[in-house]
């Protein structure tokens, strides 16, 4: 069943690319230890208390299952036209730099240009 879903995702993304859409997919990866540190910070820092959810702690029990699911999805839905970018996100500055670099590189590869004027501007005289 998952294979059929992966195929649907890949076909949808391929169609979008053929129609001119640029798709950038980022998987922001943190370690289990980093997740623990961030969850604990939410408990002790009053400015981060609002981010805390007990469900996040409960879901850590399934860490290995989630890692396998992520790996399966990344392996099955990363294509030449729409690759996944796996970004180490343990350090936010590095995560931001890496994502920004990939986006800028992609924008540059598009070689954007201003649209051509609809009329011959050499004939226009403003008095």
Residue ranges per domain, the chain?
A: 22-108
- Taking 90 as the threshold, does the pLDDT of residue 11 lie above it? yes
Strand ranges for the chain from DSSP E: 25-29, 84-88
Look at residue 1 in the predicted model and tell me its pLDDT.
86
Beta carbons of 74 and 84 less than 8 angstroms apart: yes
Beta carbons of 95 and 87 less than 8 angstroms apart: yes
Across 28-36, average pLDDT: 97
For 113, the 3-state DSSP assignment is coil
Tokens representing 109 are 């590869």
Look at residue 23 in the predicted model and tell me its pLDDT.
98
Model pTM above 0.85: no
- Digit-coded pLDDT (tens) for 68-88: 999 999 999 999 999 999 999
Judging by DSSP bridges, how do beta strands 84-88 and 25-29 pair with one another? Answer: parallel
Average pLDDT, the chain: 96
Crossing angle between the packed helical segments 2-18 and 63-76, to the nearest 10 degrees: 50
- Taking 90 as the threshold, does the pLDDT of residue 25 lie above it? yes
- Digit-coded pLDDT (tens) for 55-71: 999 999 999 999 999 99
Beta carbons of 45 and 52 less than 8 angstroms apart: no
């Amino acid at each position: 069943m998952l294979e059929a879903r992966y195929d649907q995702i890949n076909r949808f993304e391929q169609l979008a690319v053929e129609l001119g859409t640029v798709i950038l997919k980022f998987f922001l990866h943190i370690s289990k230890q980093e997740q623990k540190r961030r969850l604990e910070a939410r408990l002790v820092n009053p400015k981060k208390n609002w981010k805390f959810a007990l469900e996040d702690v409960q879901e850590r029990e399934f860490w290995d299952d989630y890692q396998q699911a992520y790996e399966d999805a990344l392996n099955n839905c990363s294509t030449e036209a729409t690759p996944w970018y796996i970004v180490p996100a343990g350090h936010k500055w590095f995560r931001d730099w890496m994502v920004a670099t990939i986006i800028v590189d992609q924008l540059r590869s598009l070689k954007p240009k201003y649209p051509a004027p609809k009329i011959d501007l050499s004939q226009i005289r403003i008095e």
